[in-house]
Structure 1
Amino acid sequence: MSDLREAPKPTPSRLKRLAGRWWRQQSPSRQDRFATMGPLVSVLLFLAAITSAFWYLRNEEIDRATEALHRDTEVAQQQIRLHLIENQEQLVRMARELVTRDIDAKEFMDQAATFQRERPEVRLVAWINAQREVRASQAVSTFHPETAPNGEIPEPALPVENQRSEAEAAFLAARDARQPLYSKPYNDAQGAPVFQLHVPLIDRHGFAGAIVVEYSIEALLRYFVPTEVTRRHAIAVLGPDQRVLTGTVNTPTQTQSNNTLAYQVPLAPLANGMQLRGQGFRTSIGLIGNTLFWMVVALSVLTVWMLLGTWRHMRRRGQIQKALVQETNFRRAMENSMLTGMRAMDMNGQVTYVNPAFCAMTGYSEAELVDGFPPFPYWPEDRIEENMRLLQQELQGRSPAGGIEVKVKRKDGSVFDARMYVSPLIDPKGQQTGWMTSMTNITEAKRIRDQLSASHERFTTVLEQLDAAVSVLSVQQGELLFTNRSYRLWFGGDAKGHEGLTSVGISPPFQTEGDDEVDTLSGLPTQELMESGAQPREVYIESLQMWFDVRSRYLQWTDGRLAQMLIATDITARRRIEEQAQQQAERAAATSRLITMGEMASSVAHELNQPLTAITNYCNGIVSRVRAGTIQTEDMIAALQKTARQAERAGQVIHRIRAFVKRSEPQRQASQAVDIVEDAVELAGIELRRRKVNIHTYVAQRLPPLMVDPILIEQVLMNLLKNAAEAIDNAQMPPSRRHIELRVVPKHSAEEGGVIEFSVTDTGPGMKEDVLARLYEAFFSTKVEGMGIGLSLCRSIIESHQGRIRAQNLYNGSSVTGCRFAVTLPVDLTQKAEGPSVPDVPMEAAVSNPNASSS
């Protein structure tokens, strides 16, 4: 035990050193965080302490109020109890005198009157025998009994045999128990709550009756509860069912609020379930209603909010400071790494700063240049006067914006060309403190410029030998700045040839309104003007009978002026070849239509045979009935009308076929998609009915007009519908899969823009992948007797209208369920047609019944 030593307790100075060491080990950001969180934690602890103190005081107040309530309620109970016991003892004495015949009825009335006068709570004193007959009764003067149904006036609230009442129950209980008993509370004839005391009369023969005393509960509470108790608390008497019978104030009967204190005690010596309840109200309703508490909470919250705001502000300032340091380091690194030399001077011409690039250019160190005055050591000896003059212009702020070209001498004696730009140095207060000069070595740039000049001469020589006309026109002055030999050969030296090729005047598409439109430092035009080059276009010059492919762009001319350059290439031979190819394509299209009608000759003949047969039948029927004299005028008119309709039908078929096969020059016009579809379906319906193929059409409403040749588009649709019907018929598809769907809907995509899509979907066997790859090749066909020009011609027609045609197989899982051809034609979707489209059902019905007869 003697070897054990107590561990040294940490002294305050040691704790301070440990705390200081721990604090120094933390990073600055963590120190700032702890410094910010310390006041915040202190405020939160202060708020918690204040809340706990208020909570403790509130509980103390509740305990004091509860204790006072218990005391006052028990005092009231004791006062009532003592009074009732005293009354009961006197009544027992009166009952004993009645049993021993010491007093008669008159003397009983006198004693009852005296008993009642001294006790205002007693409403009735009655002497009844064992048969419940009243021997004597003394009631208060304000008591008014009710009248019985038989006209008699019964005694107030007395027991009646075989009647269920509280008085009868108390009478029977007193008779059986042979001792005084209290009845349960009830309401008298006036509605006041009362209860009775039954004191039995027991003689040597047994039960001889009872003295009945009726108490007013309200008077008992009013006269025997001390005034100081009722002044502090509300006292109420409750029945066995916890219902309030009476009270010093109006108290709730069922529930109390959270701010109410209550205490209940039995109302002895009644022993009938009645209880005395004391009720008090807390003077403080808790933390919520405490103004001082909420003021402390509000101030604490405001302090916390201000601390958090200060912390956020400090954090932002730290972030800004960090960003500023990073930006300063970045700028310093950029200045140190850039090839442009930077030199700062004050208003007197003394050098205050040079960057490493400036030192590298001149060969002098920073110590040799900073704080120096002119003449500077990097000035050549033969140019000191000139440089001094330029320096005076710089200090006076008269340096040209385009910079100054000077000679600079290195420390080793070599000289190089440089360009210097000057800008003022402004401090944070807006005052100029000096001048910043940037210097760039342009020796290599001058050499490159000389090489570019030589290259330009060679390039000009090349342009002179081109077969294309090249011209450059000044936009502002409208004069030719350059023309090559081909331009002069075709248009001479006049600017009208340039204007004719551009098809516009010589005014520029962009008017410059100030120096802001042109970057004087780089010598280039604005971005908008550089992007405004015209699209390649073909121009016909009637005077030369020649076609030119014209391309143009804007550029900055050597003297800084804005100019337009044109390159016009002779494409007359190519245009003639294209015209010949177009004529051949038109002849091929007409031939294809004739071939299509030739293939459909039998179907057309069958289609025309039906209306002609109907006409013959109607005419023969009319002739027979006219000869027999059995025809009426109305029947003849009806038959002639049907004959005319059949003739019109045959004429429409012939008209559509004639318009389809008629050879004419391609003519693009505003056409409605619904009209094209209607004509194509009407002609294709002949072939579809022969092959027993149904067609379902849908044309979207309010489509904009198409700028197309309707006959050519109709030919494409005819070809697609005919191919779909042949694919279904050759595959011998069942009736459930012998149908074609033609849909016309508007679409918009980023690739094509606004288009109208014609799609033909069949339920045939589809096409193989190798066939899809070669589908549009000329003279390639999957038919035994096919020529292989149908789809190739369709593609040419659609592409000539700036459209597209696509084909794809339709799949259900891995099995092919049909093929779909989609044709898209460009259109402006913002222009809506005014009329509705043709409905879907009538067009479908026109071709869905191949066996229908027209007669």
Structure 2
Amino acid sequence: MVVIIAIADFVTGYELTLAILYFVPLFLTTWRCGVLQGLVIAVFAVAAALVSDVLSGHGYSHPFFRWWDGLIKLFTWSMFVLLLARLKTALERSDERFVTVLDGLDAFVYVVDLEDGKLLFANRSCRSFFGDPGRAEQFESDWQPPPDEAFSRDRLLDPLGAPSEGVTAELQDTARGRSYMVHARAIRWVNGRLVRLQIATDITARRQSELRARFRQGQMETQTRLIMIGEMASTLAHELNQPLAAIANYNRGALRRLKASGFDASEVLDSLEKSAVQAERAGRIIHRVRRLVRKRAPERSACSVYELVDRVCAMLEPDIVKARIELNVHVAQSLPHVDADGVLIEQALLNLCRNAIESMRSVTYAHRELKISAEPLGGESIELKVADTGPGVPAEVAESRQELFFTTRQQGSGIGLHVCRSVMEAHGTRMSVHPQPGGGTAFSFVLPRWRT
């Protein structure tokens, strides 16, 4: 090529120099063969250019100028060869660094030709795990769904045929029992062809961990349900004891009167009516506990705070009398109704009061006082508070007591306050804990007013 250019330069004469064309063989030789061969061609090109210049009859005012022109060409072309060699080395090193980075990844990175499925590139992780296949289908054949369907050409290219943003899918390797999160997108390869770049991350360990976590969660829920059943049975036994005992007493009284001669029918009727009232109360208790343990959304309605507290006090009366506790209720009958599920709020109040009663067993009878109060807050909501005069709750324990299974009592189940917190969250509010100035603890929560 150098000789051809030199002959063409001779034919055109010194009026039209073709020196720029010598860069073509210099570039090709240096890029393909190396810097040494490029420098040899540079020297040969300078010699050919000098010979062509001499034969063309180009005269100079001094012979030195001809050699000076040759030296300038030699310097220029040599610098071109050296810079081109450095550029090629830099590109090669950049490519090596890029491949080194890809080989350092734990994910499988590989490139597949969109036309024939040929594997054009695979990083070290991919080669070490799957071997060195020539085609991607050799190790993708057991993947479900098949990558050719999950990452079809229509999904990787936009309507104009240009690469889109890419597709991510989870694939299962049925042969190896592995799970992969695969991201694929279409790119232009070095030769300009469209290829599919895929990055597959092995998520088998994460999926197994999630399965174990779900299994443990299932065990925990089963245990929770069993404890809740036990708690429900205990609550039923405790609360049904009073109406059942009253029914038995009324029935025995009615029998004694019936067996006696000259009984008063009105007295027998009064005993039977009282017995029926207690039976209805027992039915309401069963219905309330049943609704409480059933998972459901709150059934909000207009609830009278005074009636809620009154029913709770009636259910607490045997415990309060037995524990010799002074009960102080500060709830005005004229308080506005609240927007709440009466059954759930009633149970929450019941749990708070029973916890308060339990907490005061360690103090003397003279200092046992249970306070239940309700006050309006700004005309938009009502604050209900249950306070006791027990030993109090340390600051670091106050919040933990609302966690499931956390309890400070030896025989406690750790469910009562957790149920209260769940009830409050279902109503869009939260329960607050405050230490009492003279000792004891106050639990409070806020409910919105009922709006017609």
Please, what TM-score do these two structures have when normalized by structure 1?
A: 0.25
Bigger share in strand: 1
Larger Rg: 1
Bigger share in helix: 2
Q: Which has the higher contact order (CA 8 A, sep 6+)?
A: 2
Please, what TM-score do these two structures have when normalized by structure 2?
A: 0.45
